[in-house]
Amino acid sequence: MSEVTQPQTTFADQKRKTVETAEFTADGRYMRKVRSFVLRTGRLSEYQKNAMNNYWADFGLEYQDTPFDFNAIYGNDNPVVLEIGFGMGTSLVEMAKNNPQRNYLGIEVHTPGVGACVALAVQEKITNLRVICHDAMEILRDSIADNSLGGLQLFFPDPWQKSKHHKRRIVQPEFIRLIQQKLKCGGFIHMATDWQNYAEHMLETLQNSAGLANQSPTGDYIPRPDFRPLTKFEQRGQKLGHGVWDLYFIYR
């Protein structure tokens, strides 16, 4: 009887398993954390898997407990814009392509999205983009130096609609304080959501944070700026009459 050959575990497969792994304390107890995301790993297509396996050295960064050296990573001192939760990466790649004077760093825990983003970046010959597949809060806390970011983008984060789940929303006062700590003076915070309740929560949280100046002439939201690409998700929502709220603040 011939032996059954087990499929080879590739880097992309292992990365997916690493993201899914539960965390435990030193004495073996499960470490409960209030996460701002639900891990929806999905199935990695061969296309996405190959992109991660073949090009992670060019586009991927790993969590580290010391700050990244962005000048060494990108080969220049252009401002670094961080995007948390880039989905499949289409708009992030488009922004990187349209703004070569900026460096972009994307964080996403959805491994098929990471693979798709890397594949598109390769296709578009993008050089000013790096991606991370890890919890954004841990990256912010440990891997990004204070006063090192030119901007923060947070587009359509999980709204956690139920009131009892609002504590899971990533936009909280402590999150904004951490972002301000990482921003350079003059850096921006740009958020967008299609949930009005979350938009109101974002606005209140940002307005109550000292050192942030709202760029809306009406003191609340801005129209979608041309530099934020319109996603298929938004186009579908517009046809259904759904609203989208953009917020844009500058750190002074």
Q: Which residues belong to the annotated binding site for S-adenosyl-L-methionine?
A: 83, 108, 135, 158
How many Å apart are CA 125 and CA 223, to the nearest integer?
30
Query: Does residue 158 have an active-site annotation?
Result: yes
Phi, psi of 181 (to 5 degrees): -65, -35
How many Å apart are CA 37 and CA 32, to the nearest integer?
14
Residues flagged as binding site for substrate: 162, 194, 231-234
Which helix (H) or strand (E) covers residue 132, if one does?
Answer: strand 129-132
Beta-ladder partners of 250:
188, 213
Of the candidates 225, 124, 223, 212, the residue with the CA atom closest to the CA atom of residue 175: 212
Residues 158, 220, 226, 246: which is the catalytic one?
158
Q: Which two tokens stand for residue 209?
A: 């944070």
Residues flagged as binding site: 83, 108, 135, 158, 162, 194, 231-234
Torsion angle of the four alpha carbons 98, 103, 46, 11, in this order, in degrees rounded to the nearest 10: 170
Residue for token pair 């209030």: 34
- Active site residue ranges: 158
